[in-house]
């Protein structure tokens, strides 16, 4: 594999790693581990830990999908591997 191919895959894996970290932080961190601390804050009348576990994580996941698609498109254009 040439240098640009290795650089492309390094960038792709870095992007995936960042998104997986955010996913884990939101789903396990905010929804489970940090939920007792977040429950002191209320959002819409509900404790924030409960909100993240039931609804907030879904909003974050949907946002992650759109952000990933946008950043991946830019990455593909940067390395000239995008579709015409």
Model confidence pLDDT, tens digit, residues 22-62: 999 998 998 889 999 999 999 888 899 888 888 888 999 99
The torsion angles phi and psi of 39, rounded to 5 degrees, stand at -70, -10
pLDDT given at position 15 = 97
pLDDT given at position 17 = 98
The pLDDT of 55-73, averaged and rounded, is: 95
- Using CA atoms, how far apart are residues 56 and 49, in angstroms rounded to an integer? 9
**pLDDT higher than threshold 80 for residue 3:** no
- Using CA atoms, how far apart are residues 61 and 81, in angstroms rounded to an integer? 26
């Amino acid at each position: 594999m040439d240098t640009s191919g290795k650089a492309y895959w390094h960038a792709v894996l870095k992007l995936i790693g960042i998104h997986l970290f955010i996913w884990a932080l939101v789903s396990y961190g905010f929804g489970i581990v940090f939920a007792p601390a977040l429950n002191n804050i209320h959002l819409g009348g509900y404790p924030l830990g409960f909100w993240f576990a039931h609804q907030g994580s879904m909003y974050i996941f949907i946002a992650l999908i759109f952000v990933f698609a946008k950043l991946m498109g830019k990455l593909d254009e940067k390395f000239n591997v995008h579709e015409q």
